[in-house]
Amino acid sequence: MSLSSLLTAKKKELKHCNTVVTNMLGEKYEILGSEMRLIDKGLPFVVDTKPDLQMAMVEPGLYFGSQDPAVNIDILQTHGIRHIISIGIKLEIVFEDIQYNFIDLMDIPEAKISEALKACLGIMRESQGQGIFIHCNAGVSRSASVVIGYLMIKKNLSYDQAYQEVKSIRECIKPNDGFVKQLKALEFSDFSSFF
């Protein structure tokens, strides 16, 4: 049997599948041949339906998570938080004795995670290890991506190693595909530009 006929036979055994694509507006499309059919209109962000008050400890004095702990003074004081880095979320509630920093970053694949990472590293360096809490909306993509990048740089880890370390402390993380691609590209970078 020739390779061509073997491939043709194996191709016939494959199960049919449909491709579903979600755009930046949360619209889901099914691709059928050369046509796209709208199948659902969702939201382009994670809907926060209940408070997520968990703060994942990356290392002593460094935590990350959702925006919910950032507006709870008892949790912040319990963890010794003196600095909050808000990624893409402007907090409406702020407390005295806490320094706030806002990093403008949308949770879309096209956004430049390296710029947010550089800004966060600068803030972390200036805070000299005083309790830091990094958050985004849900603590799933943006803040997790920054923490993964931080560990890659600090511990000289690959993306996969840093991802697994962060996943072990906050199981719900899921950096968007663009952030993953950008962070994987950092594996081959000279990190001196980040310091």
What is the set of active-site residues?
136
Write phi, then psi, for 86 (nearest 5 degrees): -100, 120
Reduced to 3 DSSP states, what percent helix, strand and coil does the chain have, rounded to the nearest 5? 40, 20, 40
Residue 160, token pair as written in the block: 């996969």
In a 3-state reduction of DSSP, which class is residue 189? coil
The Cα 27–Cα 32 span in angstroms is: 16
